[in-house]
Amino acid sequence: MKEDYYSGLRRDMLRHQIAARGIKNPRVLEAMSRVPRHLFVPERLADRAYDDSPLPISDGQTISQPYMVAWMTELLEIAEAAKVLEVGTGSGYQAAILCELAGEVFSIEKYPDLARAAEERLSILGYDNLRIRVGDGTLGWPEEAPFTGIIVTAGAPSVPQPLLEQLADGGRLVIPVGPAGMQMLNVIRRHGNDYRASDEGNCVFVPLVGKFGWKRGRVF
Ligand code: SAM
């Protein structure tokens, strides 16, 4: 049966791409074992959904590599009651992983058709602890702030100030920062008015555009 086939691919993905590269948090591994990634990619790419790479979705955007999703999620250290903001809904796959782990998830996407498709997919899969909004995620979601975790799934030129302000005391922001072609994955921890950043490693993301992101045409 096709579902058994995809479950097998998912098990291999977890073993060879994710656990093998050092992801240990059992809640993250469990979440990644539950979410059917093949339903988040264009149908013609379903058989490649568990490959060790990002894949194209629509509007020139991508669903991130499985390991990247696992790594960023682990760095967020999500508690069960957490309120998490994602910037860059894309396919909705990362949002589904967040829904498995957090109490409430808010996700912002700039392309309306991607946001609509993700919303439909996530609702069919039964996730009811999520809201998606179309807009500029570099402005955050002030009406719902503060967030215990914020994850940005596109490469930023610098850390958007509104996201720092919307981070809860004790919260964590995970964000790729740097030029197109190669960014550094940053984790920023807030303690009162003190923000501590650490560099976690290199990554490559599509650009974060918007008021506090790249300006169109000035990415490269
Ligand atoms: N998290 C996604 C997933 O699981 O499929 C992958 C995200 S893709 C690498 C980056 C996404 O960020 C794209 O869908 C892009 O349209 C979106 N994006 C870029 N700039 C944005 C902004 N300012 N606000 C909201 N979304 C943005």
Residue 100: pLDDT over 90: yes
Closest atom of ligand 1 to 208 CA is 20
How far is residue 13 from each of residues 16, 89, 141, 153, measured CA to CA in Å? 5, 22, 33, 20
Instruction: Over range 146-168, report the average pLDDT.
Output: 98
User: What's residue 3's pLDDT?
Assistant: 84
Determine contact, residues 203/153, Cβ cutoff 8 Å. no
User: What's residue 1's pLDDT?
Assistant: 74
With cut-offs at 50, 70 and 90, classify the pLDDT of residue 53: very high
CA of 108 from ligand 1 middle (Å) equals 8
pTM score, whole prediction: 0.97
Q: Going from the N-terminus, what domains does the chain have, and what CATH number goes with each?
A: 53-203 (3.40.50.150)
Return d(Cα 79, Cα 164) in angstroms, integer.
20
CA of 136 from ligand 1 middle (Å) equals 10
With cut-offs at 50, 70 and 90, classify the pLDDT of residue 220: very low
∠ CA 185-147-103, nearest 5°, is 105
Catalytic residue among 53, 64, 91, 123: 64
Residue 197: pLDDT over 80: yes
User: What's residue 217's pLDDT?
Assistant: 52
Six token digits for residue 1: 């049966």
Return d(Cα 130, Cα 85) in angstroms, integer.
10
Residue 218: pLDDT over 70: no
With a 6 Å cutoff on the Cβ, whether 205 touches ligand 1 is yes
Instruction: Over range 150-169, report the average pLDDT.
Output: 98
Return d(Cα 171, Cα 141) in angstroms, integer.
15
Residue 101: pLDDT over 80: yes
Sequence-distant (≥ 6) Cβ neighbours of residue 148 within 8 angstroms: 78, 79, 82, 83, 84, 168, 170, 171, 172
Query: Residue 64 catalytic?
Result: yes
CB atoms within 10 A of CB 180: 14
